[in-house]
Chains A and B, each alone.
Chain A
Amino acid sequence: MSYYIRYFAFLCLLITASVSAATPIIEIEIRDHLFYPSEVEVPIDTKVKLIIINQDPTAEEFESYELNREKVIPGMSKGIIFIGPLPAGEYPFFGEFFPKTAQGKVIVK
C-alpha cells in the first residue's frame, strides 16, 4: 500500500515539475516609457511568465485591469509577473506611471 502511495507521490511530483518547466516565458522591455514589444501573443488556457525588463532610470508600474495585474518595476531592474490561463481575447496593459506612452496588449489565441 505504502509503495503505491510513494509511487503516486512521485508521479504527482513529476507532473507538477513538468508543468512548471513548461511555463512559457515572454520578455517585455521598457525603454523611454514604451513597451517593446507592445503586443505579445500567448497561447490560450496557458499560464505564462512575463519578465518585464525596465531599461529606464525611472520606475514604472505594469498595470492591467483586464489581466488583474499590478506591479512596480524599479528603474534599471526587472520584475516577474505570471498571467493566465486565459480565454481567447485581447488584454490591454499599460505603465501606470507613464500611461500616455507606455501601452501594450496581450493577445491570447
Chain B
Amino acid sequence: MLINSVILILREVLEAALIVSVFLALSQKLQLSKRWLMPALLFGFATAAIYALNIQVISQAFEGVGQEIVNASLQVVIFGCIALFVFFIKNAQNHKRIAFIMMCCVSMAVTREGAEIIIYIQGLIAIPELRSPVLIGSIIGAGIGISAGVFFYYLIASLSFKNGLRLGLFLLILIAGGMIMQASQLLIQADLISSQQALWNSSSFLNERSLTGQLLYALIGYEATPAPIQVYMYICSLFIMITLTVRTLNHFKQREII
C-alpha cells in the first residue's frame, strides 16, 4: 500500500511542482516579485478542497461527465495562462499582469492535482489499517515530487539569463502541450469529441507503465496509443507555444538582453 501511495501522490505533485518551479525560476530570471506564490497555493488548496468535497455532485453533472468537463477546462485555462505568460514577458512593464497570470496558472494546477490527493487520502485514511502506510507514503511521494521541483528551479536558476530563459520556456512549451493532450483525452472519454482508433501504438517501444513512460507522461503528456484528434490538437498547441516563444526570444535578442 505504501508504495502505491508514494507513486500516486508523486504523479500528482510532480505536475504541479514542475509548473511552480519553472514560474519561480523565470520570475527570478526576469527579476519579478515571487509574492504571487503564496496566494496561488492557498487559493489552489482551497478550491481543491471545494472540488474534493463536491466530487459526487461534479461527477453527476453534465450527464455524468462533469469531472471531465471541469478537469479539461482547468487544463485549457492552464494552457492559456502559459501562452499569455510567454506572450507578456517580453515587456517588463507588464509585471503585475504576469504575476496575476502565474497566480491563476498555479492555483488551477494545484486545484486539479490537489483535489485528487484530497479524495485519495480522505478515502483511505478512513480505513484504520491503511492510515499510517497511506500517510507515510503520501508524505514520501510529495517529498520526492517537491524535490524534483526544487531541482528544476535550481537547474534553471543556476544557468545564465539567456540559457535559463531558454530552458524555462522550453519546459513551458512541453507542459502546455501536455495539458492540451490530456484535455483532449478527457473530452474523448466524455464522448464530447468523437473517438477514433489510435493513430499508433508505441507501447512495445515505450510503455506508459514504465518509469520513463510515467516521467514522459508528466512532462509532455506521453500516450502510447493516442487518438488522431489528440495528436492534431497536441501539434496545434505546440505550434502556438513555439511561435509565441520564438517571438519572445527574438524580442529579448533585439533589445540585446540576451
Contact = CB atoms under 8 A, between A and B. Distances in A.
Contacts of B60: 77
Interface stretch (B39-47, B79-87, B120-128, B146-154): B120-128
Contacts of A82: 188-191, 195
B162 to A, nearest CB: 38
A43 interface: no
Interface string A40-69: 000001010101000001110100011011
Given A58-B127, A73-B59, A97-B123, A85 B196 contact: yes
B59 A77 contact: yes
B189 A85 contact: no
Interface string A55-93: 001110100011011111111011111101111000000
Interface residues of B, number: 38
Main secondary structure of the interface of A (DSSP, over half): loop
B120 A79 contact: no
Contact of A71 (B189, B196, B224): B189
Nearest to A99: B4
A45 to B, nearest CB: 7
Nearest to A16: B194
Interface in B168-219: 185, 188-191, 195-198, 203, 207-209
Interface stretch (B21-29, B63-71, B231-239): B63-71
Nearest to A57: B126
Interface residues of A, number: 32
Interface in B121-153: 122-124, 126-127
Contacts of B223: 68
A96 interface: yes
Given A68-B225, A72-B67, A86-B197, A81 B120 contact: no
Nearest to B209: A65
A29 B36 CA distance: 44
Contact of A74 (B59, B68, B189, B197): B59
A64 to B, nearest CB: 10
8 contacts: A58-B123, A59-B55, A59-B120, A68-B198, A72-B119, A74-B55, A79-B59, A82-B191
